[in-house]
Chains A and B, each alone.
Chain A
């Protein structure tokens, strides 16, 4: 029973998904009627239950207590639980806001919300998995359900394109990752992250020279990074992202750019910090290079976009580069206020609420004026003042202006980089912050700098407004008083870093 309790969030989601699926089969609302909103409500309910379960698993009071192992393949630690809390929060907000959007665009609501819960399940497993096969299965499960969700609007060509593109890139990425996993298994004879680490440190002994079987770790690392980098939309594996985000139904794009990214980063962090501990000297420069390329490419591409949805898509690529900066600067040796990993977690948490909020604004505009083009935002302050103000909060948070969560996220990852004296990395991040400000401000400019307003006041659906308000409040709360969140993220990171061999 003990082990079963550890995976309570996953069990709740599984039951929820199957329940909606069966209900959809058994219950026929009658011709012309749609039951999408009730399925949406059910999905939100189960996600909330899973969120509560994950929060209960967070062990804030006693950070010294070690992680719990469920069925040998899942590590239930604060790190994983915090990632789950982050993921579920994003999924709930997206669910509440996206119900009406999906209801108006598609008839197969039962399936949609079933998959939606399954995606959450897959991410949840990925956050805790400590075995390479389970990691692979979770990522693959996440990918396949995401392909279907991205292409869910069957009549819409762009949605089809989004699904197909995601699938084509994704299947290659997962094949590459699988190859990397097999290399690691060949070299160490184990699939457990801890065992891999132990066996490598045995092979290497005291020497810092990578030789013999340990040499297999280097290509394996790159191959697995390619697979996970695809999920986290790191350059150069991000080409699918803008098209997929742009074409997918907006609720799907929302979680793909936030929750799904958080899951990928959880796996990345666990894999590199735990399994590849002996090779830190090798992976730090690799990840640093990826970080720089990702933020620069993402920002430069975002500069040229005229669709706000696409712009946020590219910007979320760039944001992944900043998050990676925290991982590059992880310090496991000595306790520190900014150990890099807590920066990653804080950034992910703040970024999730910010970016979900940004996508919800895009969704609101799609709902009301049916456009994602930047010209649709012209004079928004006159037509929907609160929407414009909230979007400004999100854009400022993405820029990293204080009193928003995005600031402390950047503060922590830049801090970790400075602590490790990676001045060049922080310097490139600084220049990128300037570039990014330009395109975020372009939207603010459109929204505020004109007094003319075409069209009347926008009627934003109530559910969407609620989600938006929550996103705004959390974004500002982290920016004004980050203390509570800092306790969570620091406990989470310390617990993962303390088990590093």
Chain B
């Protein structure tokens, strides 16, 4: 009898698919579908918590691996595995999925069966991307994650949903096909679709032209998803039009897939090309930080503002990844040692720190922006507008909402004691040692972030006198008429508190989380250093 550990990933992966089918087969009434979905989503959440504890960090590397034949003709298999990088992200996925399902149960009353079916399908595909260690499998999950999100935006979205959904689909599709071509290139160079084996075989080593082509193929695929400046233009539309839970998943998890792909595939597989192009990644990241922040200040729509803040915050991730990539190979490390007059170890520490910051930022952004999108959804359900000019003085009317928004917003701007701080600290501390000018440029974004958080959100929406003439049409969350803004109700509080608690927890004691990321960051750097 095999131990349960050997199939835990398969259960984790396929349970959401089973849930989706159960919704279709057993979904007799709306309330039953909602209950079924929420309860069903607890199993993947529990399994991901189990993984957090069961992962043996002394041993490191890929664990809980599973192999099965799938397409033997292509040497493509069903290969799953998790390491320090993917486990926290899987936890993030299952947590946000459960919270989204729970929140949606309260606000979605139209075409319920389809909605919950698609949400489970989305969770299935996202977990699949984080688990897959085979290129074909990875690509399959990567692509099918588009489909449920497309429908979620298109059916339950805002007024302009058709346009936003199509734009989202086509932009990411073009990026994905570029990645597909790169995957095929890797296959013909190495003869395998296994991500780990292919990285070990170092496709196109010594041929910078081909390696760069493959690198940019992958980069296009990932950059559209992250989204990196200048590939971000689909994001504000998609986020603004998506239903609340859709935005939460989109910002919380789907954007992470791109950055995850860079860490899992690009850096280990093409170290030379990564070093060569690192400045570009750092530059794009730093520009995204500053540009995204400035655009936020100019927004009049609260949801669009938070959407653009994602562009800015994902820029930190790119900055961290790019900085670490710049000193990955032994040659590049020597170069940096000579340039800065530091020891190789110090530079490596900085690289690991940049990677940790990037990975931590991925996780934190998922929690913080997820929370912010929930909060926007909560106010939108009441006001039916997101126009910043029509809000003001809500602090006295909705104190609970104000408090939670305050925490999430401060976490987003990186206040010490909350989650966002550590990610920014690590990223910039790491990047300063390697690419000081770009990192310095990026800090402009931090200042501007404070401007849009404090001025546009906190001051504009919450502070000052409440003026009823600004906006007259208020309802309760159930859609009944109300005389003014009403505070959060039970299910909304239950949705929000785990996220806010996580912000505090990580903010006060980030060590457990960072140790997972640090493990895989060190492994990645050691892998590349020992290639020669």
Contact = CB atoms under 8 A, between A and B. Distances in A.
Contacts of A495: none
Contacts of B74: 337, 486
B370 interface: no
B111 A451 contact: yes
B177 A430 contact: yes
Interface string B152-196: 001100000110011001100110011011001101100000000
A304 interface: no
Given A427-B181, A438-B166, A449-B154, A433 B72 contact: no
Contact of A414 (B73, B114, B170, B181): B181
A433 B155 contact: no
B466 to A, nearest CB: 36
A449 B162 contact: yes
A402 B174 contact: no
B181 A448 contact: no
Given A441-B166, A445-B165, A486-B71, A418 B181 contact: yes
Interface in A366-380: none
Interface string A466-487: 0000000000000001110011
B450 interface: no
Contacts of B55: none
* Most B Cβ at <10 Å: residue of A396, A418, A427: A418
A281 B166 CA distance: 41
Contacts of A430: 174, 177-178, 180-181
A481 to B, nearest CB: 8
Contacts of A490: 73
Given A402-B140, A445-B162, A483 B173 contact: no
A401 B125 CA distance: 13
A401 B161 contact: no
B144 interface: yes
Interface string A427-451: 1011101100110011001001101
A29 to B, nearest CB: 45
B184 A414 contact: yes
What is the size category of the interface that chain B forms with chain A?
A: 35 or more
B143 interface: yes
Contact of A486 (B73, B146, B170): B73
Contacts of B147: 396, 401
A483 B72 contact: yes
Contacts of B161: 449
A441 B170 contact: yes
A451 B111 CA distance: 8
Contact of A438 (B155, B170, B180): B170
A411 interface: yes
Nearest to A490: B73
Nearest to B182: A418
A423 interface: yes
Contacts of A411: 136, 180, 184
A438 to B, nearest CB: 6
Contact of A437 (B173, B181, B184, B185): B173
A426 interface: yes
A419 interface: yes
A337 B188 CA distance: 10
Interface in A396-415: 396, 399-403, 407, 411, 414-415
Contact of B185 (A418, A429, A438): A418
B15 interface: no
B227 to A, nearest CB: 16
Contacts of B524: none
B31 to A, nearest CB: 20
B43 interface: no
Contact of A401 (B75, B110, B143): B143
Contacts of B71: 482-483, 486
A329 to B, nearest CB: 11
B504 interface: no
Nearest to A427: B181
B119 to A, nearest CB: 16
Contacts of A427: 181
B173 A434 contact: yes
Nearest to B75: A337
Contacts of A445: 154, 162, 165-166
Q: Which of B72, B139, B177 is packed against the most chain A CB atoms within 10 Å? A: B177
B73 A434 contact: no
A487 B72 CA distance: 10
Contacts of A399: 173
Best-surrounded residue of B73, B111, B155, B162 (most CB of chain A within 10 A) = B73
B118 to A, nearest CB: 11
B178 A401 contact: no
A366 B136 CA distance: 39
B174 A415 contact: no
A487 B71 CA distance: 10
A487 B173 contact: no
A414 B188 CA distance: 12
B426 interface: no
Given A419-B188, A441-B169, A433 B174 contact: yes
A437 B154 contact: no
B410 interface: no
A447 to B, nearest CB: 10
Contact of B187 (A415, A431, A438): A415
Contacts of A401: 143-144, 146-147
B8 interface: no
B72 A418 contact: no
Given A403-B144, A414-B180, A415-B184, A337 B73 contact: yes
A402 B144 contact: yes
A165 to B, nearest CB: 33
Contacts of B213: 423
Nearest to A487: B73
Interface in B87-142: 110-111, 114, 136, 139-140
A445 B71 CA distance: 33
A402 B184 contact: no
Interface string B249-279: 0000000000000000000000000000000
A337 B165 CA distance: 36
A402 B178 contact: no
Interface in B363-398: none
Nearest to A433: B177
Contact of B155 (A414, A418, A441, A448): A448
A490 B180 CA distance: 22
B151 interface: yes
B110 A437 contact: no
Nearest to B153: A449
A388 B125 CA distance: 22
B177 A402 contact: no
Nearest to B72: A483
A292 to B, nearest CB: 16
A433 B179 CA distance: 13
Q: Which of A403, A414, A445 has the most CB of B within 10 A?
A: A445
Most buried by A among B74, B114, B154, B174: B74
A402 B143 CA distance: 7
A448 B151 contact: yes
Contacts of B151: 448
Contacts of B155: 448-449, 451
A418 B183 CA distance: 10
Interface of B: 70-75, 110-111, 114, 136, 139-140, 143-144, 146-147, 150-151, 154-155, 161-162, 165-166, 169-170, 173-174, 177-178, 180-181, 184-185, 187-188, 213
Given A414-B181, A418-B185, 12 more contacts: A399-B173, A402-B143, A403-B144, A411-B184, A415-B184, A430-B180, A434-B177, A448-B151, A448-B154, A449-B155, A449-B162, A483-B73
14 contacts: A399-B173, A401-B146, A411-B136, A418-B181, A426-B181, A430-B180, A433-B177, A441-B166, A441-B170, A448-B151, A448-B155, A483-B73, A486-B74, A487-B73
Task: Return the 10 tightest CB-CB contacts between A and B, nearest first.
Answer: A402-B140, A434-B174, A418-B184, A430-B177, A449-B154, A486-B73, A402-B143, A415-B184, A419-B188, A433-B177
